[in-house]
Structure 1
């Protein structure tokens, strides 16, 4: 019997694993081989990373403590577990020990470092080379008299409970004074004085002397008698926000048929808008129903009105900012939903189109649908050209956009019912066809720093194009070799946006002109409101293969912080969006498309 079918089957199996089952980063070694003459197929015994957690040693520790990690790997087994700590204000994880046998534990001499708040984590490596890092746990090291002020959060409103904790205070009586100062100043004022534990007081952020939208630093000072004993670390950049957002519902028009666009505008000058709820209310009722909740600007969605009973409706929008202030727009009333006779709408294929694009339409008719034709026209004209006519749902066309000139186009759908009557959809305007040879392909961020989800030294940002670019079009005279640059991180409010839309761009020098790599919307919050931070960095260019074509990758490696600060750790995974510029050109001098591209791959916390 020939062994060739077996070899082909094995190859297909390994290819399937390679395409769908391998983790993104691996040091797995091949441990079994089947051979057929000059051909061989190798398969690893373990494609699964280990699991690992670190146990909390307690809310506060001193002296020498044992830190325990739990790790397992059902396939190849755990090779070792590294236990690490991140010191207060630290930028790099420090290894306490490496243990190769279960139970995995370390003796941590806490007296070797400063008192304060520490993070602990464990890094497990299995025998196939896969690595997993645990979520961190926090503890307070207190070997001496220590006062710690609890962090009330980045943004506060109303009455805020502030609590200070005192460690190793002994038998002496202490008084704790909580103080505040406008961020960036050193004029400390007393907020409250607490004579006995628990050291808690209430901060009324609406009281006279506090400014809405202003940021304040907080600290706690412990005294015994008339002597100042110790001062806590400063909790910095706490913004007061008692003001609700501004929100306006956009008129969706009337009558409404098929799938329609609903939108609102919302702004918030302080903590930023985090979500907008779009709602409807049928006339004669008192119930408002949320039908979509966009979280990024523009706050809009497409909604199939056929899901609603025909009738008259009111629409409104409710905006919520980062601290929970809520505002509701005025209602847009008297809008008629009518899908009884016929409705047709063309779905949005995207703001930028290239290559082959599927354009779809939805339609309904009580008389039955004979066909749906989808048309295109240069934007703002009535020169309609049919893309296709479809007689069965789902109604769709494949549009080869390379057959038309780059530019802006309108789309519509025309339904013909079984009686020959036609209904034309609302025009979907200004979809841009852009088949430039050079385009943005992907943007990726890699955590190489101390804290996952926080921009810091060691993190990496990669821009991938669809073709080779001229390095000199990014920075004059650049050849692609290592070049010092500056990474600028700006809060969404500083770039005219709101909510979780912090942006990154690259400067040639501190406070200099931005390089034409464009900007990246991180779709999360990495810096506090109205703040920015700049990092020293290096930029290099290399090549990769994109869809069979040699393409350029620009890699930015983040270094030390150069100015600013007020950094946040992203609270959720997100998909970044990179908007390039036409200043970057390919090797033939052709400009890059300005079409944005979204980060490819699984959701993550970026840096």
Structure 2
């Protein structure tokens, strides 16, 4: 190797190590100012790779006239180029610039008489001289330049009797009367109805929400001053968007099997049509007792946990599930009774082979018995069925066998293991339920999102979602008439449902057959819709020697519903429902089996 070749090789390694230090890639318009060189190669480093820091001081809970807004910003490397202070109506709308300041102090006057009275969010955006920007946390204030009434936020979800409270500003010499009204959200022709009326001079009263149907409602406060023909009415400039939920959730305890020994899986199914499931508590009690104790509490699907039954005395037990929705409504399931815990004889469990099975799958059971293991059978049955068929029988550990899934029809199956001990007594494992056999040549492989916007956990411009298939896909089957060589303009629609926000892709004058994705969190409220302009591109990746097609949709600006968008702080796994309209290079259609996002649990976008 020549000296020049060696130097170049070292340079490539050093650059690779530097670029591999972080999985987060940021871009800067920084000028390259530092330089090291040898006669063969040159490396330059930017003076600033770090975003600035910025914060905004809250101007107070209520403001009038012209108020001074002040931000603090710092950047230890290239320095601050400018700070922009912005305001946004809390009822929805875009961020509007109040002022742009290029030197300290970063403050300016905000003429609140030029905007409507109401609640506003305020923030500051700092940009350093390298081109990096940072956005401060937002602060809230109420603009109140006129005689008006403000409804205090009662919370997102209401049940039973709730206290409604308002604040009246600039009421004058005579205290007005205040009433609170509601209207069903999204119902054409609906009229405002009085929820309750506060005593004169007091601005609070109780609303019995059980008198209305569970669902979404808008609330407002109305202040009336004077009387007769001289009365004047002031409507609130803030309205609460609430969900009334007085409907109890549904819950069913899954039969854990009998006898029970070792560490076993206990599970329940739970649904709620309105506010969603907040928690499921799995409980046990000795047979004949009504004093139930907790096995575990679960806050997300699947509502299950592993529990060491050796912590229980041998004997007969009942098991049940108690679920609570986000509104606080509670339901207790019917009990699964007369289940025996016996940790002195045998235990058997079947390892979960995964949600989707194809080709030849290895099934593994774990079994032990103080009487010795005579045999272990691994069996299958159509999901929910009671007739099981033996896949294999083993008499020595490890208890494994290969299941040729092509010998059965595609569909959902239950799996279990049956232990026969040395005395001839049998023990049946818990069922590994609803494992889906899918031998379609093309399936969805994964779905992932990336945050490219300004707010983590909220849909913004430059955010993206990528769909990956198990093989190569014909682009025109995803979007008729499209060959994939150019970015395709599409429209992203976000719909709020009771079970999570659902994202779908479409386009003007044609279909986009990517199916739908349930984000499994509330990025927009139930019954609300937002749309975004977007672009779609396609490429391929090679995984384990197999070439796969990917389709990436990158969001542009929101074209409707921007004010309805919400920011979630809770991680969840998306579920993609592919479309059978998509075909592989041989013309075979894609399976419609749902695909759960892989990798570390995270917030989307």
- The bucket for the TM-score relative to the shorter chain is 0.7 to 0.9
Number of the residue aligned with 1:178:
180
Number of the residue aligned with 1:316:
320
Q: Secondary structure at the match of 2:390?
A: coil
TM-fit CA distance, 1:364: 5.2
Number of the residue aligned with 1:526:
523
Number of the residue aligned with 1:505:
504
Alignment check: 8 A CA contact 2:55 2:73 kept? yes
Number of the residue aligned with 1:289:
294
- Any idea what the Cα deviations from partners look like across 1:526-549, whole Å, max 9, x if unmatched? 3444x2425364452333645484
TM-fit CA distance, 1:145: 2.5
Q: 1:205/1:411 Cα in 2 relative to 1: closer, same or farther (>3 Å)?
A: closer
Number of the residue aligned with 1:542:
538
Q: Secondary structure at the match of 1:382?
A: strand
Distance 1:92 1:519 in 2: 28
Structure 2: tracts of 5 or more residues without a match: 383-387
Q: Of 46, 59, 68, which residue of structure 1 is paired with 2:61?
A: 59
- Any idea what the Cα deviations from partners look like across 1:385-414, whole Å, max 9, x if unmatched? 88x9877xxx999x9999999957876679
Q: Of 478, 490, 493, which residue of structure 2 is paired with 1:487?
A: 493
Number of the residue aligned with 1:168:
170
Structure 1: tracts of 5 or more residues without a match: 493-497
TM-fit CA distance, 1:363: 5.2
Q: 1:49/1:534 Cα in 2 relative to 1: closer, same or farther (>3 Å)?
A: closer
Distance 2:246 2:334 in 1: 21
Alignment check: 8 A CA contact 2:479 2:511 kept? no
TM-fit CA distance, 1:15: 4.1
Q: 1:561/1:327 Cα in 2 relative to 1: closer, same or farther (>3 Å)?
A: farther
Q: Which shifted more, 5-14 or 538-547? A: 5-14
TM-fit CA distance, 1:421: 12
Q: 1:411/1:201 Cα in 2 relative to 1: closer, same or farther (>3 Å)?
A: closer
Answering whether residue 247 of structure 2 is matched by residue 243 of structure 1, we say: yes
Q: Secondary structure at the match of 2:476?
A: helix
- Any idea what the Cα deviations from partners look like across 1:494-525, whole Å, max 9, x if unmatched? xxxx4xx3322234579xx9853122111112
Alignment check: 8 A CA contact 2:279 2:297 kept? no
Number of the residue aligned with 1:477:
481
Distance 1:238 1:261 in 2: 37
Q: Which shifted more, 29-38 or 216-225? A: 29-38
Number of the residue aligned with 2:225:
224
Distance 2:171 2:197 in 1: 17
**What's the RMSD between the two structures over aligned residues?**
4.7
Q: 1:515/1:279 Cα in 2 relative to 1: closer, same or farther (>3 Å)?
A: farther
TM-fit CA distance, 1:115: 1.8
Q: What is the total number of aligned residue pairs between the two structures?
A: 586
Number of the residue aligned with 1:265:
269
Q: Which shifted more, 154-163 or 589-598? A: 589-598
Distance 2:489 2:496 in 1: 22
Which residues of 2 match residues 337-486 of structure 1 at below 5 A? 337-353=341-357, 381-384=389-392, 425=429, 428=432, 430-432=435-437, 436=441, 439-444=444-449, 446=451, 448=453, 453=457, 460-465=464-469, 468-480=472-484, 481-485=487-491
TM-fit CA distance, 1:457: 7.5
TM-fit CA distance, 1:336: 1.5
- Any idea what the Cα deviations from partners look like across 1:115-134, whole Å, max 9, x if unmatched? 21111123344566554333
Q: Secondary structure at the match of 1:473?
A: helix
Alignment check: 8 A CA contact 2:442 2:590 kept? yes
TM-score, scaled relative to structure 1:
0.78
Alignment check: 8 A CA contact 1:149 1:235 kept? yes
Which residues of 2 match residues 546-557 of structure 1 at below 5 A? 547=543, 549=547, 551-555=549-553, 557=555
Q: Which shifted more, 256-265 or 460-469? A: 460-469
Q: 1:601/1:264 Cα in 2 relative to 1: closer, same or farther (>3 Å)?
A: closer
Which residues of 2 match residues 30-179 of structure 1 at below 5 A? 32=34, 38=40, 49-72=51-74, 80-99=82-101, 104-126=106-128, 130-179=132-181
Alignment check: 8 A CA contact 2:177 2:202 kept? no
